[in-house]
Amino acid sequence: MIQGVQIDLISSERLENLTSLEKIRMILEKVIDGNVVVLEKGLTPDEQSLLIETTMREIKPDGFAGIEMETYSSESETHQKSGGLFGGLFGKKEHTSGRMTVIGPANQMKTLKKDKNLISTWVSSR
């Protein structure tokens, strides 16, 4: 059998049909199995917070050691700045999901390079 790493590219349509908890569960189940997940559309800040918290609860000695995650800066940062007078006055918050995101097991994935428009990662098989 060919040795390697399974990479799951998940479309934004599939993600949109899931609740936050279902998204987190799906991502973590795949990553704990040693797969790398690429999300066409990233997670919201609340989902990212939940992902960190749930990841911590899944870490086991000599087993799952956590996740490596990389994403481009969220488009919402640009939107926030252009919130205008009323956006500023009324604390307008516009938080779209992040952009393409890659998540993998921390002990198999390493980020080699990241800039505004490029994420370069190295993945080893288990």
Partner 1 sequence: MSFFIRTKKRFKKIIGRLFKKKQMRIGIYGPPNAGKTTLSNRIVRDWTGDAVGPVSEIPHETRRARRKDGVTISDENGNAVTIDIVDTPGVTTKIDYKEFLEYGIESEEAVVRAREATEGVAEAMHWLREDIEGVIYMLDSTQDPFMQVNIMLIGIIESRGLPVIIVANKNDLPDASSTRIKSAFPQHPVISISGLEGNNVEELYEKMIDFFG
77/64 Cα distance (integer angstroms): 32
User: Least separation, in Å, of the C-beta of 86 and partner 1?
Assistant: 15
Chain-centroid distance of CA 78 in Å reads 20
Picking from 37, 3, 15, the residue whose alpha carbon sits closest to that of residue 109 is 37
Stretch that binds partner 1, among 1-9, 18-26, 33-41, 64-72 (CB under 8 A): 64-72
Q: How many residues bind partner 1 (CB under 8 A)?
A: 33
69/106 Cα distance (integer angstroms): 8
25 is a site residue for partner 1 (CB under 8 A): no
99/25 Cα distance (integer angstroms): 20
Find the binder of partner 1 among 7, 9, 21, 52 (CB under 8 A): 52
Neighbours of 44 (CB within 10 A): 17
Stretch that binds partner 1, among 6-14, 15-23, 33-41, 88-96 (CB under 8 A): 88-96
User: Which CB atom, from 7 or from 45, has the smaller least distance to partner 1?
Assistant: 45
User: Which CB atom, from 15 or from 69, has the smaller least distance to partner 1?
Assistant: 69
108 is a site residue for partner 1 (CB under 8 A): no
